Amino acid sequence: MKDNENQIINNIKTGDFQKALELFNDKNLQTNSPKYYATRSCENLQNGKLQNAWLWSWRGLNKFPKDPILTRIIEKICELNSVREKSKQTYNLNFEDNETHGEVGNSNTNIRVLQGSMEIANQMNTLSEGLNRQGIIAHTINYYPYYLNYDSNYTWSLIGQRSTPLINEKLRKLTNEFLHHYDLFHFHFGTSLTLDWSDLPLYKSSGKAILMQHWGSDVRIFSKAIELNPYALVKNKNEYQIKTKLSKLSDNIHNCVVFDMELYQYVKEFYKNVHVLPSMINLKKYQPIKNAIPNKKPLIVHAPTSPAIKGTKYILEAIESLNDKYDFDFRLVKGLSHDEAIKIYQAADLIIDQLHIGSYGLFAVEAMAMGKPVICWISDFMKDHYPNNLPIIIANPETIKDTIEFILRNIDLLPEIGIKGRQYVEMNHDMVKNSKDVLSLYLSLLQK
């Protein structure tokens, strides 16, 4: 047993993580054991994910503080990043990102940003990529890694985890580690690094900048939504709960980000400063297919991630009523990873987003970037706040059947709409452009 342990430590020391994994022999691996955490850490090291390797080792050492293998892994991570441990009690997080290649002045290159703790439509990862290109070290932590398989620097699955004193104590310890190594904390969807927001006072006392970004169902208040949009539906009708949450968050966080003027209406009475910054995507990852072979029959695609909110019922009814009259294919996309879903969207002639929200979201942005025409409900309120050249085909539950039928009768209109959609996204949702606006906000917060 001791010989095996020494071999593992030697393999870690030499950077041969594959051999270390083979020696672990994890056929009957117990999840509450040092070997489990060491195995997960080595797997991440093998895949070049140094931040996540550190997190697995840190979690293991909090349970098994004297474990020699976990200790050696932490030391190896520091070696790999040319960083020395400051003390035996504090494990260094100063990872150097190979992907950072600054496009801005050196004055920004010392800024370190952590986003968390829920990934929404790949926005944390996309923003971090944009910031990295500007010389900022930006990392993400995700507590809710769902089936879409979005990438994150740190992942700690807390799906289904109740907020208890024990878990929040662990997360506050993690917060204290991060406080030593990040300058600004950018949170999303009403989450923070603890499940009870007990970390929020720590940022101010540590002199760290902090902001919250809301995305939709976390703040959408029905009584206000229905004033803006006659077809509005919300996931959470408990307005008291939403308002109480916003009050607690805004007591500790004074700066909030939303991506459009609809969401601004729900948060403007709570946060001291609300910044409207459009969502963003990496345009290189969402390209129209050149010289694509046309489908023999038009392919209509819909992704019912939230069927009620998306209006899936009305879409299916419309499709069924038109099936006998027109020759086309229809596909529902659900339960697939994001990469798998993208392949289907690339083959579509028409994509249907949602019929209730009244504004377009990331799904529509991605579809337009791929040159795909999009059907989506846009309220009159939001029409006044979008550019006049918005190339979205507008429909609601009452008009969806007629709208699809019109398209099927005029299929030749779709290519031009698709071209305009791509141009619109290039103008309004480019990761490179929009991340610079976010960086400007960061700099203003760090100077206060």
Looking at the structure, do residues 261 and 288 belong to the same domain, yes or no? no
What domain range includes position 308? 284-428
**92 occurs within a structural domain:** no
Which pLDDT band, with edges at 50, 70 and 90, does 79 fall under? confident
Backbone angles phi, psi at 54, to 5 degrees: -60, -45
pLDDT of residue 101: 39
Does residue 292 sit in the same domain as residue 402?
yes
d(CA 402, CA 411) in angstroms, rounded, equals 14
Give residues with Cβ within 8 angstroms of 371, minimum separation 6: 288, 289, 418, 419, 421, 422
Is the residue at 94 inside a domain?
no
CATH number of the domain residue 24 falls in: 1.25.40
Q: Tell me which of 26-30, 142-146, 218-222, 368-372 is least confident.
A: 26-30
* Euclidean distance between CA atoms 365 and 44, whole angstroms: 32
Cα dihedral across residues 365, 366, 370, 374: positive or negative: negative
Strand order across the beta sheet in which 350-352 lies: 329-332, 299-302, 350-352, 374-376, 393-394
Residues 129 and 267 in one domain: yes
Residues 268 and 288 in one domain: no
Is residue 320, in this structure, part of any structural domain at all? yes
Q: Note whether 171 and 312 are same-domain residues.
A: no
- 45 and 22 part of one domain: yes
| pLDDT bucket at 19, cuts 50 / 70 / 90 | low
pLDDT digits (tens, 9 = 90+) for 33-75: 888 898 889 889 888 899 999 999 999 999 999 899 899 888 8
Chain segment 87-144, per-residue pLDDT in tens: 333 444 555 444 443 444 445 658 999 999 999 989 999 999 999 999 999 999 999 9
The answer on 176 and 161 residing in a single domain is yes
Is 290 found in the same domain as 182? Answer: no
Q: What is the pLDDT of residues 280-322, one digit of tens each?
A: 999 999 999 887 788 999 999 999 989 999 999 999 999 999 9
How many other C-beta atoms are found inside a 10 Å radius of the C-beta of residue 337? 12
Residues 329 and 381 in one domain: yes
Report the distance separating Cα 324 and Cα 327, nearest Å. 8
Domain boundary among 58, 80, 102: 80
In a domain, 399, yes or no: yes
Which phi-psi region, left, alpha or beta, contains residue 114 (left: φ > 0; alpha: ψ -120 to 50)? beta
Higher pLDDT: 367 or 294? It is 367
Of 34, 63, 80, which residue sits at a domain end?
80
Q: How far is the C-alpha of 239 from the C-alpha of 105, rounded, in Å?
A: 45
pLDDT for residue 103: 47
| Per-residue pLDDT at 25 | 63
pLDDT of residue 31: 74
Q: What is the DSSP string of 95-154?
A: PPPTT---SS-GGGTT-EEEEES---TTHHHHHHHHHHHTT-EEEEEES---TT----SE
Indicate the average pLDDT of the chain: 90
Instruction: Inform me whether the pLDDT recorded for 383 exceeds 80.
Output: yes
Nearest to 433 by CA among 273, 282, 210: 282
Supply 403's token pair.
């709208």
Structure confidence at residue 357 (pLDDT): 97
Tell which of 80, 100, 135 closes a domain. 80
Q: Averaged over 381-394, what is the pLDDT?
A: 96
Determine, yes or no, domain membership for 87.
Answer: no
CA 265 to chain centre: 23
- Give mean pLDDT, residues 401-426: 97
Residues 121 and 247 in one domain: yes
Judge whether 310 lies within some domain: yes
CATH of the domain at 364: 3.40.50.2000
> Comparing C-alpha atoms, which of 97, 5, 88, 106 is closest to residue 50?
97
> Scanning the structure block, which residue is given the tokens 């089936």?
147
Q: What are the helix and strand counts (H, E) for the chain?
A: 19, 12
- Total tally of structural domains belonging to the chain: 3
Percent pLDDT > 70 in the chain is 87
Q: Are residues 260 and 313 part of one domain?
A: no
153 and 254 co-located in one domain? yes
Within-domain flag for 86: no
Q: Quick check: is 308 in a domain?
A: yes
Integer Cα distance of 320 and 61 in angstroms: 57
